[in-house]
Structure 1
Amino acid sequence: MKLTFVSIAGLGCLCLWLFGANHVLPVAAAPVPAVKTPKGSERTVVLWPNGAPGALGKGEADVPKLYVYPATGAGVRSAVIVMPGGGYRNLSMEKEGGDEARWLNEHGVTAFVLEYRLGPRYGFPSPMLDAARAIRYVRSHAMEMGIAKDKIGLWGFSAGGHLAAYLATTNDDGNTNSPDPIERVSSRPDFAILSYARLSLDPTIPRKTSLEGLIGAHPTQAMLDTVSVERRVTKDTPPCFLFATTGDETVNAMNSTAFYNALNRAGVPAELHIFERGSHGAGMAQGLTRAPELAIYPTLVANWMQIHGWMAPEDLKSPVLLKGK
């Protein structure tokens, strides 16, 4: 769903008016979750050097960041922003961040890991604003980093997959009149990889939680509809790759099938893989004794990226990845 600059830039105010303060205002007294830095990044970028919109302070939890993993070698590269999961309350920065960024580097793709703001201290739409800013940052700095502006994707896990899908379906072209050059470019990703992602709050899909870290314990129906991202798919949604397991008891695989069906109806290129076995939070799914068949999953991602031109075939070194993880 394409939004105008006004609707994205004023998202916080719009949400206050539509849904009520209880669902969108951050909680000043909320505990600050500890977030570990992912291993191996070259540098860290503060997305808003002068303070993020709606920031409650200047501590680590108030400062959204990008951890940068540049790919080596000549030529212009694609890029992927990895969005860790954690129920919008924590971030799995290594298992669903650093591991993937290093794997992408090994296959010729520049990677970033996003540290976005978390609940209950920050609710909707703060994580969405952070993610949109991350896409704009990468696109606005693409030339200096050797990245193709039209080959910038997202890879999200669980709640991070929800965040990636939200940005894939809700974005804008930027504000050409903004004094901030980062805000002048589009927040639309060119593709999205969604791993065991929460994508629907349809009551017919079994669920244990309702994204409380993002929308609180008592959201309105309007808010539930807003964050149920399969409702937001249009023909402008970028191509998506979806991975899930029937054995996931935390996020039902019907989240992925519902989103895939919406993509298919809209005519959006999509690929869906649902394995029978496998629990939630598999990460890159290497060395799993109870579901060793999931080890093929990164190869499926690589194949999909290759057919679309987001990963060069010669960069694929081996079909078995991250041995021993």
Structure 2
Amino acid sequence: MESPRGRRQKRRKTFFLPLGTSDGSYKPRQRAGHARSRQTGICQVLKRPESATNTVKTITGRLKNARTNPSPKIECWIPEKNPSNTGLVILPGGGYGGLAEHEGKGYAEYFCRAGIACFVVSYRLGTQGFRHPAMLEDALSAICAVRSAAHDFSVNPGRVGIMGSSAGGHLAAHTLVAWGQYESDVPLRPDFGILCYPVIVSQGPHAHRGSIINLAGNDASPELLEDLSHEKHVTSRTPPCFIWHTWEDSGVPVENSLIFASALKKHGIPFELHIYQKGGHGMGLNAPFNWGAECLRWMSGITGHKTA
């Protein structure tokens, strides 16, 4: 006999979703049959075995002025209860050369247990032959797709945040400062950002050279490097942020987070910054301190989220 969990995980093979809004209003709707095709929010469900705790979907969110044909794979962890209807788009780290599972799936499992819908993005990489803006367009396409499919995931399209670690933090920060460069039928501005030991600067002694080379190549122009230094592009429209780093981080110096926080302060953007003394780079949830609980507490003030 099929288990209740197995029944809950069943999805129709292909469906088309109406566009969401980002005005803060949200009314869950009952799932219906197939709707007519729209230009955004096309979702194809690739069902995993019944024992799986997540559903793998290929979700296409269309950016009207994209240059690189973005269509990232998104893995979805959807909790049974999401009290605040919050969604979190997660960008794993890996120096733009790989995707660290503990900074993708590991985060998704943690935040899903807390009652948050999580969407892990497999964005394109420099080691696959891609360069900027492919990665940025993948990340923004994921935001577009999640907002377009928000009702299907019981997510409020006005409570969709972005999270990234290391190079994934650089990409998340890029969406925070560059969302206005693209057009879509749904808003692209993240409602909040979570940056874990992020790469921020692209030049100078605090830059992570390997990440920047994978992102922009060895011969990036000064203008492009300027564009990829995110502290220089913070504005009054940049979303609020939770940032953490360690003083001992020798892979991506703590100055990256300090510099970005300073830019947020200059423009009056609310943020919470945690600098821990102990710990190297890339710890994720294996850190010797409970940054996850601090992040959830901060999120409750942004989204009203209460742990499920």
Give me the TM-score of the superposition, normalised by structure 2: 0.77
Matched, 1:129 2:137: yes
Structure 2 match to 1:259: 260
User: Aligned to 2:292, which of 280, 292, 298?
Assistant: 298
Tell me the equivalent position of 2:275: 274
Which residue of the other structure, out of 108, 119, 125, is the alignment partner of 1:112?
Answer: 119
Match of 1:101 in 2: 108
Structure 1 residues 184 and 259: alpha-carbon distance in aligned structure 2, compared to 1, 3 A threshold: same
What SS class does the counterpart of residue 292 from structure 2 fall into?
A: helix
Instruction: Say whether the 8 Å CA contact 1:47–1:66 is kept in structure 2.
Output: no
The Cα shift of 1:75 comes to 5.5
**Which digits, 9 at most, give the CA deviation of each residue in 1:3-59, with x for residues without a partner?**
xxxxxxxxxxxxxxxxxxxxxxxxxxxxxxxxxxxx84212224379xx9536xxxx
The corresponding residue for 2:68 is 54
Superposed CA deviations along residues 81-106 of structure 1, whole A, max 9, x for unmatched, are 110001111111x2001111111111
The whole-number CA distance in structure 1 between the counterparts of 2:294 and 2:54 is: 25
Note if 1:89 corresponds to 2:101.
no
Q: Distance in 2 between matches of 1:274 and 1:133?
A: 31
Are the equivalent residues in 2 in contact too, given 1:75–1:146 (CA < 8 A)? Answer: no
Query: CA offsets per residue over residues 189-237 of structure 1, 9 Å max, x none?
Result: 0000000100112425365545111011121111110000011100100
Aligned with 1:149 (options 157, 179, 183): 157
Write the distance in 2 (CA, Å) between the matches of 1:216 and 1:119.
8
Which amino acid is the alignment partner of residue 101 of structure 1? A
Q: After the TM superposition, which of the residue ranges 99-108 and 260-269 deviates more from structure 2? A: 99-108
Q: Does residue 307 of structure 1 match 2:301?
A: yes
| Alignment partner, residue 22 of structure 1 | none
Shift of 1:187: 1.3
1:307 CA displacement: 1.8
Q: TM-score, normalised by structure 1?
A: 0.73
Which consecutive aligned stretches of 4+ in structure 1 deviate over 6 angstroms post-superposition? Answer: none
- Matches of 2:268 and 2:235, distance apart in 1: 8
Q: CA RMSD in A?
A: 2.2
Deviation, structure 1 residue 174: 6.5
1:1-325 to 2 correspondence within 5 Å? 40-47=53-60, 54=68, 64-73=72-81, 77-92=85-100, 94-120=101-127, 121-172=129-180, 175=183, 183-205=184-206, 207=208, 209=210, 211-286=212-287, 292=288, 294=289, 296-312=290-306, 314-315=307-308
Q: Which runs of 5+ in 2 are unaligned?
A: 1-51
Return the offset for 1:246: 1.2
- Say which SS state the counterpart of residue 311 (structure 1) adopts: coil
Asked whether the 8 Å contact 2:246–2:276 carries over to 1, the reply is: yes
Deviations 1:267-322 (A, max 9, x none): 00000011111111101135xxxxx3x2x11111111111222521x53xxxxxxx
Residues of 1 paired with 2:291 and 2:245: CA distance? 10
Matched-pair identity in % = 32
Q: How many residues align?
A: 253
- 1 CA distance for matches of 2:95 and 2:170? 10
* AA of the residue aligned to 1:67: E
Shifted more, 249-258 versus 218-227: the winner is: 218-227
Paired with 2:238 and 2:131, the residues of 1 have a C-alpha distance of 24
Distance 1:206 1:165, change over 3 A: closer
Equivalent-residue separation in structure 1 for 2:137 and 2:182 (angstroms): 13
Partners of 2:130 and 2:207 in 1: how far apart?
A: 26
